[in-house]
Amino acid sequence: MKDETPYDRLPYTDHAYAESHPNRLAVVARLSGWRAPELAAARILEIGCARGGNLLPMAMSLPGAELVGIDPSQRQVDEARRVACAAQLPNVRVLQAGFETAELEAGSFDYVLCHGLYSWIGVEARRALLRAIGQWLAPGGVAYVSFNTLPGWYERMAAKDWLRRAPPNASLASLTWLREQVSPELGHYRRGLEQVLARLHETEPAYLVHEYLSEEHHPVYAGAFLAEAAEAGLSYLGDAIAQNVALELLPDDVASRVHELDVAATQEIIDFVKGTSFRRALLVRAEACTERGWRCPKRLDPAALASLRMASRLREELPGSDFFRGSRESVQVPDEAARAALRELERLAPRSLAFRELPGAGPALASELFDVWLATGELDLYAHAPPMASRAAERPEAPPLVRWQAAHGATLTNLWHQEVRLLEPLVRFALARLDGTRTASELAREAKRAGLVADEASVRIAMDLLAASALLSR
């Protein structure tokens, strides 16, 4: 029997991370002038895939791709395989192996993903991890590596060290006690403790154990990470959430200060200015950079939008208005061509549209929409569009994985690899049964027999909500 890992005893939280999807990686690559592999038939590896919460929805949205996940926890691998089988995902394999022992073909993966591992292993192990990523990554491929970052993590270190001193099974109570003893005059320190407490209350116990109580936990400066990546033959491409490192969103003095600095020094200054605590670094092979004559740009290229697709969560507040409402706040869009494009994207939502198909497509519109994307986060850029419905068909169909998630009370992941919170019993009941064989009236009758209050109209409303949430393939 293989050695048991801490994740066998307590599996980690099971989530999809939209920023780690190869679709996002390909977008940042294009904006940075890097030609990344096409997604439709890509080979994708996730290191530390756990129960498949991130990997399996990727397989759902990229049916022509080949996906491989590795994880040392046999329990988590078994669960991932079970769900993959139930969700009819023949394009994914999950292997029980760590990055130190996995036998994978060198240079064979277009995208290599590693979320939540680098900061939780020792120094020599993380260097070995980066060497493995460099070995498995294809010459033109893109890797994603997330890690906890200084200086931002300094604000959480006191809470972490206190929690490691707390009695077993009394961590939250102990941290609550500490917060109450801290004088209100120490407002910044007290608020930091409160933020950690709030985060721990909204997550599963596994997050506390593996994030704050682990013996191995090493936040690092971006420069230290990039130095280790360079030793492994990897170069920095950008951040998966480009807005986090965009000089355009920082004071002009920051851009002036970093003008002559190298990539590592630039990223560290950005982190000091923003107090960054977590990064999602994208890496490429250094030898490929030399062959292509490519250097990491200080700023992204708006003209690259011409080769991408767009989807929007912005909604026009009033007909003819300059204001569009997002998930958090409203934004004014003075440019008429940009407003026309946003109206068209609103009409098609949640589906995307190729930029070249937007009304008024051209360099000026690309510049305007790039600014909206950068400033609001309410536009999504894509290199690939999975099949999805913007309206429910007469007999709607949801992907088998989504139906499995609905039936088993799991977090829903839509076709854009975004997590969706839909808790209404009728909505989840309907979603679990949308296999393309049932009409709204038939589902309403099934729901009534199950003891739910339902009629055809309410089921149709549920179906429309599911379509708007990018959960329907037809």
Q: Which two tokens stand for residue 63?
A: 């049916």
Residue 316 parent element (H or E): strand 315-316
pTM strictly above 0.75: yes
DSSP string, 77-141: HHHHHHHHHHTT-TTEEEEE--TTT----TT-EEEEEE-S-GGGS-HHHHHHHHHHHHHHEEEEE
* Type of residue at 30: R
Number of other CB atoms surrounding residue 351 within 10 Å: 20
Q: Are 43 and 65 in contact (CB under 8 A)?
A: yes
Dist CA 448 CA 221 (whole Å) = 57
Task: Report the DSSP pairing between strands 66-71 and 412-413.
Answer: unpaired
* Type of residue at 363: P
Nearest alpha carbon to residue 473 among 435, 439, 440: 435
Dist CA 351 CA 311 (whole Å) = 6
3-state secondary structure of 402: helix
Q: Are 223 and 258 in contact (CB under 8 A)?
A: no
pLDDT at 404: 97
352 DSSP assignment:
-
Task: Report the DSSP pairing between strands 419-420 and 412-413.
Answer: antiparallel
Q: How do residues 263-307 score in pLDDT, each as one tens digit?
A: 999 999 999 999 999 999 999 999 999 999 999 999 999 999 999
Task: Report the DSSP pairing between strands 109-114 and 43-47.
Answer: parallel
Q: Are 99 and 70 in contact (CB under 8 A)?
A: yes
57 by Cβ neighbours in 10 Å (0-12 / 13-18 / 19+) ranks as buried
109 Rama sector, left if φ>0, alpha if ψ -120 to 50, beta otherwise? beta
Q: Where are the domains of the chain?
A: 6-150+219-292, 154-212, 302-382, 400-468
Q: Which two tokens stand for residue 293?
A: 């004559």
Bridge partners for 310 per DSSP: 353, 381
Q: Are 136 and 45 in contact (CB under 8 A)?
A: yes
Task: Report the DSSP pairing between strands 137-148 and 234-239.
Answer: unpaired
Q: How do residues 394-440 score in pLDDT, each as one tens digit?
A: 999 999 999 999 999 999 999 999 999 998 999 999 999 999 999 99
| Tens digit of pLDDT at every position of the chain (474 positions) | 456 666 666 666 679 999 999 999 999 999 999 999 999 999 999 999 999 999 999 999 999 999 999 999 999 999 999 999 999 999 999 999 999 999 999 999 999 999 999 999 999 999 999 999 999 999 999 999 999 999 999 989 999 999 998 887 888 999 999 999 999 999 999 999 999 999 999 888 888 887 888 888 899 999 999 999 999 999 999 999 999 999 999 999 999 999 999 999 999 999 999 999 999 999 999 999 999 999 999 999 999 999 999 999 999 999 989 999 998 889 999 999 999 999 999 999 999 999 999 999 999 999 999 999 999 999 999 999 999 998 999 999 999 999 999 999 999 999 999 999 998 999 999 999 999 999 999 999 999 999 999 999 999 999 999 999 999 998
Tell me how far CA of residue 459 lies from CA of 269, 442, 463, in angstroms.
52, 10, 6
Dist CA 95 CA 105 (whole Å) = 14
Q: Which CATH superfamily is domain 6-150+219-292 in?
A: Vaccinia Virus protein VP39 (3.40.50.150)
Chain centre to alpha carbon of residue 269:
24
3-state secondary structure of 44: strand
Residue 401 parent element (H or E): helix 400-407
Number of other CB atoms surrounding residue 295 within 10 Å: 12
Bridge partners for 354 per DSSP: 309
Nearest alpha carbon to residue 39 among 54, 52, 29: 29
Residue 325 parent element (H or E): strand 323-325
